[in-house]
């Protein structure tokens, strides 16, 4: 057995079913060995999307997604995908081929110091120098990626190590990391303090972030808030932790969030943040949220607590464990009046839009989609105006909502949707992007076709980089610079070129039928929706 065989054995031992990647000489031993395995390989069309696809898969399965690329440019191309996963705390294992270990540091062909380059975007990285370390390193890497605050781990394997003979392969049963022991269980005294505050609070609210989804704590959250009738708002990454139509859910907060959600959070006297960073997009003035209220901050990463706002009660641990502990506590609280107030806010402070009837109204279109998609469908939003409309108007039922809230990487939706579809082939998967973000991942239509991954794609087309145009509208008084997307291809011809079904929607007149047709059948479709180029998210 050689190193490359050992890597494949490690992936098998971890239950990996799919590897996304792009070969080159330096990773060829691995791609040769994987042919003898049942692990499916997906040839992505650019390395960045290998990481995004692995991210989509990880978010669906709750286990690390895996990608494998070659040295040099292959490795540097994947960095944006790794940085995206890092910002969103998505567990990934990224394997990079590397030049011969004896030549390291001599600037040979396709050599890049990838462990050095990704240092600030990975949870940890390894450069394998001894073939016999492979089983231990992979065991540790999967453990590090998927415990504590999750994130990407990179393993750089020189080609001579992949080809070197292994003494004996034995996959460790357990990891023994002397220095890495994340806190999972919440501190009992702190938990009691939170319960005490909940008993006293008149206007409590829970703000959930992506950490609730990463901890798979949705059921516990629902049980807890229903038991005590506690209202919930969410950050962008927390969308889907509660069904959007739940009577206790009051929308997304933040500068792109719902006015009533922000008001609810501001007027609360007890704010419990769970698995959220109190980051700038969700809370623009973190200094203020501790001024007139008790702030409880629950996070698995102690470094997030107190980074942006000093909480009254810090509570380190896994969201699922902690909410489970909350459920066990017997206490009563009564805040019916507060809930009535919030319901009134929700009914009266909704966004008023005046859509231009000559175009497709993205809000109405997304509303139709939500209504007609399967209950457990997966909706992947890209980045730009489309992302804000998706966050605002998509109704998550029993399905999932994925987007990159932390890094905001354009082009995320199509590869991430592919990863999600591969993880859950029985579910409907829809990617919604703009004409800018679509063109950042357009090459993946080939991957979808080659590997028969039936993702449904909506392109909201306005011939502009809409989010930047909107910013230039407000900040530079319509002095538009480098946002015009003229020159974009004819999407009907693009769809035909990749053998996809194509639909075009120009206004809302036949939208309902068009959405029915779009969602029909388990096959990939590209639906171009012409939206008002001057539409605004605010």
Partner 1 sequence: MQKKVFQLLVDNTSGVLSRISGLFSRRGYNIESITAGVTADPRFTRITIVTSGDDVILEQIEKQVAKLVDVRDIKELTSTSSVYRELVLIKVKVSSDQRQAVISVADVFRANIIDVAPDSLIIELTGNQSKVEAFITLLNGYEILELARTGITGLSRGSDNVAYFDD
**Residues 387 and 403: beta-carbon distance below 8 Å:** yes
Q: Does 303 bind partner 1 (CB under 8 A)?
A: yes
**Which of 15, 107, 108, 119 lies at the binding interface for partner 1 (CB under 8 A)?**
119
* CB closer to partner 1 out of 180 and 480: 180
Is the C-alpha dihedral spanning 471, 473, 479, 485 positive or negative? positive
Instruction: Find the part of the chain contacting partner 1 (CB under 8 A) among 49-57, 304-312, 324-332, 371-379.
Output: 304-312
User: What is the 3 state secondary structure string of 194-213?
Assistant: HHHHHHHCCCEEEEECHHHH
Instruction: Find the part of the chain contacting partner 1 (CB under 8 A) among 42-50, 118-126, 265-273, 484-492.
Output: 118-126
Instruction: Find the part of the chain contacting partner 1 (CB under 8 A) among 32-40, 175-183, 415-423, 515-523.
Output: 175-183
* CB closer to partner 1 out of 141 and 381: 141
Instruction: Find the part of the chain contacting partner 1 (CB under 8 A) among 111-119, 277-285, 366-374, 390-398.
Output: 111-119
Which residue in 104, 206, 89 sits closest to 158, CA to CA? 104
Which residue in 71, 65, 73, 76 sits closest to 39, CA to CA? 65
Q: Does 172 bind partner 1 (CB under 8 A)?
A: no
Q: How many residues bind partner 1 (CB under 8 A)?
A: 18
Cα–Cα dist 423/440, whole Å: 23
Cα–Cα dist 514/505, whole Å: 7
Which residue in 217, 331, 196 sits closest to 274, CA to CA? 217
HSE-CB for 135 with a 13 A CA cutoff: 15
All residues at 6 or more sequence positions from 69 whose CB lies less than 8 Å from its CB, including other chains = 21, 22, 23, 24, 27, 47, 50, 75, 77, 78, 94, 95, 96, 97
Shortest CB 144 distance to partner 1, Å: 6
Shortest CB 169 distance to partner 1, Å: 23
**Which of 220, 299, 301, 444 lies at the binding interface for partner 1 (CB under 8 A)?**
301
Q: Does 98 bind partner 1 (CB under 8 A)?
A: no
Shortest CB 121 distance to partner 1, Å: 10
Secondary structure of residue 327 in the 3-state scheme: helix
**Residues 420 and 381: beta-carbon distance below 8 Å:** no
What single-letter DSSP state applies at residue 155? Answer: E
Distances (CA, A) of 183 to 4, 179, 218, 274: 34, 13, 20, 15
- For residue 537, how far is the Cα from the chain centroid? 21
**Which of 165, 177, 288, 358 lies at the binding interface for partner 1 (CB under 8 A)?**
177
**Which of 15, 306, 350, 499 lies at the binding interface for partner 1 (CB under 8 A)?**
306
Q: Does 144 bind partner 1 (CB under 8 A)?
A: yes
Show the binding pattern over residues 310-339: x = contacts partner 1 (CB under 8 A), - = does not.
x-----------------------------
Shortest CB 91 distance to partner 1, Å: 14
User: Which strands form 378-381's sheet, in the order they lie side by side?
Assistant: 400-402, 378-381, 429-434, 456-461, 525-530, 501-505
* CB closer to partner 1 out of 14 and 140: 140
* CB closer to partner 1 out of 124 and 502: 124
Q: Does 277 bind partner 1 (CB under 8 A)?
A: no
Instruction: Find the part of the chain contacting partner 1 (CB under 8 A) among 87-95, 112-120, 375-383, 433-441.
Output: 112-120
Q: Does 307 bind partner 1 (CB under 8 A)?
A: yes
**Which of 48, 49, 115, 524 lies at the binding interface for partner 1 (CB under 8 A)?**
115
Which residue in 283, 297, 334 sits closest to 211, CA to CA? 297
Q: Does 71 bind partner 1 (CB under 8 A)?
A: no
Is the C-alpha dihedral spanning 138, 113, 23, 62 positive or negative? positive
Q: Does 179 bind partner 1 (CB under 8 A)?
A: yes
Site for partner 1 in 25-64 (CB under 8 A): none
Secondary structure of residue 305 in the 3-state scheme: coil
User: Which strands form 124-127's sheet, in the order they lie side by side?
Assistant: 40-43, 18-22, 65-69, 92-98, 152-158, 124-127
Shortest CB 315 distance to partner 1, Å: 15
* CB closer to partner 1 out of 240 and 314: 314
Shortest CB 140 distance to partner 1, Å: 9
Shortest CB 180 distance to partner 1, Å: 5
* CB closer to partner 1 out of 156 and 444: 156
Instruction: Find the part of the chain contacting partner 1 (CB under 8 A) among 65-73, 98-106, 154-162, 302-310.
Output: 302-310
* CB closer to partner 1 out of 129 and 492: 129
Shortest CB 499 distance to partner 1, Å: 45
Q: Does 139 bind partner 1 (CB under 8 A)?
A: no
Q: Which secondary-structure segment (H or E) carries 341?
A: helix 336-348
- For 228: left if phi > 0, alpha if psi spans -120 to 50, otherwise beta; the answer is alpha
* CB closer to partner 1 out of 220 and 301: 301
Q: Does 288 bind partner 1 (CB under 8 A)?
A: no
**Residues 294 and 201: beta-carbon distance below 8 Å:** yes
**Residues 295 and 309: beta-carbon distance below 8 Å:** yes
Q: Which residues bind partner 1 (CB under 8 A)?
A: 115-116, 119-120, 123-124, 127, 144, 177-180, 301-303, 306-307, 310
């Amino acid at each position: 057995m050689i190193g490359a065989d050992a890597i494949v054995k490690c992936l098998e031992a971890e239950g990996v079913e799919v590897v996304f990647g792009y070969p080159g000489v330096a990773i060829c031993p691995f791609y040769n060995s994987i042919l003898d395995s049942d692990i499916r390989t997906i040839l992505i069309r650019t390395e960045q999307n290998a990481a995004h696809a692995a991210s989509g898969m990880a978010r669906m399965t709750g286990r690390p997604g895996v990608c494998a690329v070659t040295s040099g440019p292959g490795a540097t191309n994947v960095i944006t995908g790794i940085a995206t996963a890092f910002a969103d705390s998505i567990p990934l294992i990224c394997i990079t081929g590397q030049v011969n270990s004896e030549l390291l540091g001599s600037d040979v062909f396709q050599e890049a110091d990838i462990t050095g380059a990704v240092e600030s975007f990975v949870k940890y990285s390894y450069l394998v120098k001894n073939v016999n370390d492979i089983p231990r390193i992979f065991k540790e890497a999967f453990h590090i990626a998927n415990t504590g605050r999750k994130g990407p781990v990179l393993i750089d394997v020189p080609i001579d190590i992949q080809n070197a003979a292994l003494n004996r392969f034995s996959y460790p049963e357990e990891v023994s990391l002397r220095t890495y022991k994340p806190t999972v269980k919440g501190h009992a005294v702190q938990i009691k303090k939170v319960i005490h505050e909940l008993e006293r609070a008149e206007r409590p609210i829970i703000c959930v972030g992506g950490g609730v989804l990463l901890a798979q704590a949705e059921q516990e959250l629902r049980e807890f808030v229903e038991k005590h009738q506690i209202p919930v708002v969410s950050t962008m990454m927390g969308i889907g932790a509660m069904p959007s139509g739940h009577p206790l859910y009051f929308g997304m907060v933040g500068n792109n969030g719902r006015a009533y959600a922000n008001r609810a959070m501001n007027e609360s006297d007890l704010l419990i943040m769970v698995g959220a960073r109190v980051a700038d997009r969700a809370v623009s003035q973190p200094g203020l949220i501790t001024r007139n209220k008790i702030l409880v901050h629950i996070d698995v990463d102690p470094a997030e607590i107190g980074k942006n706002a000093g909480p009254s009660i810090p509570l380190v641990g896994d969201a699922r464990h902690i909410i489970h502990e909350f459920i066990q506590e017997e206490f009563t609280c009564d805040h019916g009046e507060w809930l009535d107030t919030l319901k009134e806010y929700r009914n009266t402070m909704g966004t008023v839009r005046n859509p231009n009837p000559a175009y497709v109204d993205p809000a109405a279109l997304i509303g139709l989609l939500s209504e007609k998609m399967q209950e457990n469908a997966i909706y992947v939003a890209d980045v730009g105006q489309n992302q804000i409309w998706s966050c605002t108007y998509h109704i998550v039922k029993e399905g999932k909502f994925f987007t990159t809230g932390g890094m905001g990487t354009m082009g995320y939706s199509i590869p991430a949707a592919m990863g999600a579809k591969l993880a859950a082939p029985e579910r409907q998967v829809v990617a919604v992007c703009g004409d800018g973000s679509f063109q950042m991942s357009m090459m993946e239509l080939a991957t979808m076709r080659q590997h028969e991954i039936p993702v449904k794609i909506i392109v909201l087309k306005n011939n502009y980089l809409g989010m930047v145009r909107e910013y230039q509208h407000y900040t530079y008084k319509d002095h538009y610079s480098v946002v015009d997307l003229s020159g974009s291809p004819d999407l009907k011809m693009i769809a035909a070129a990749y053998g996809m079904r194509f639909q075009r929607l120009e206004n809302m007149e036949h939208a309902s039928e068009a959405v029915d047709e779009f969602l029909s059948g388990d096959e990939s479709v590209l639906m171009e929706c012409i939206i008002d180029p001057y539409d605004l998210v605010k």
